Amino acid sequence: MSDPAIEAVLFDIDGTLITTGGAGATAWRRAFEELHGVGVDIREVTESGQVDTEVGAAGLRRVLGREPDPHELAAAMGCYLKHLPEAVAESDGYRVMPGIEPLLDRLVDSGHLLGLTTGNVEAAAHIKLSRGRLNRFFAFGGYGSDATDRVSLTRQALERAAVVSGGAVRPEECIAVGDTPRDVEAAHGAGIRVAAVATGNFPAEKLRASGADWVLETVEEGFPV
């Protein structure tokens, strides 16, 4: 039996659609400095593909030397979001990944529904995409503010795809696009296929070993839609 036609595409953000050039790490460092007087480079205590709540908790563990309580995590998240717009705006390394905007234009013109599946909390996702003028493409999403694990937030995105499409789009007609093995695991855990792109921190061979259905150097070559 052939695979169902692809009707909706769910994109990861960092390393897939854009790179902020370290703006997220800058915003987290400023937040920890403001709240606790100690700067932390979250790249030293986290891995690519983690959700924002995991990132914040890992940074607080480094700062506090213990598990943070919910109030401390909420305060850190709010402070991070306060600093993120300026960090994104001033980043010299911000860029939209190769081929992304032409691909999104083409998918919209061909009638595909586009969404997000990202570990960013919803506000952070839209702040990061705003500089690249990419928010206009995405009708729905699953975010790090929806769940603490990537599988659950991807399932949330699929539920929203059904709502936005009036029930026309089924999970088996959706695919995800990401740049880490966590993205692959999340998509497969939610029961959908995934295209992995080697535009982030993982080379094609590691993405292939993670079990991605398609592996591309960039979305410019061999995209499955």
How would you label 26-60 residue by residue, b for 16+ Cβ within 10 Å and e otherwise?
Answer: bbbbbbbeebbeeebebeebbebbbbbbbbbbbbb
CATH topology assigned to domain 23-90: DNA polymerase; domain 1 (1.10.150)
Alpha carbon separation from 111 to 56, 105, 134, 154, 171 (Å, rounded): 37, 10, 17, 21, 17
Distance CA 180, CA 202 (A): 6
Average pLDDT of every residue of the chain: 96
Q: What is the pLDDT of residue 4?
A: 84
Q: What is the pLDDT of residue 9?
A: 98
CATH class of 8-20+95-216: alpha beta
Structure tokens at 13: 């953000």
As a whole-number percent, the residues of the chain with pLDDT over 90 amount to 94
Q: What is the pLDDT of residue 49?
A: 82
Q: What is the pLDDT of residue 65?
A: 95
pLDDT in tens, 10-32: 999 999 999 999 999 999 999 99
Residue 197 and residue 180 in contact, taking contact as beta carbons nearer than 8 Å: no
Q: What is the pLDDT of residue 110?
A: 97
Q: What is the pLDDT of residue 116?
A: 98
Domain parsing of the chain, residue ranges:
8-20+95-216, 23-90
Distance CA 15, CA 128 (A): 12
pLDDT of 77 higher than 90 = yes
pLDDT in tens, 128-173: 999 999 999 999 999 999 999 999 999 999 999 999 999 999 999 9
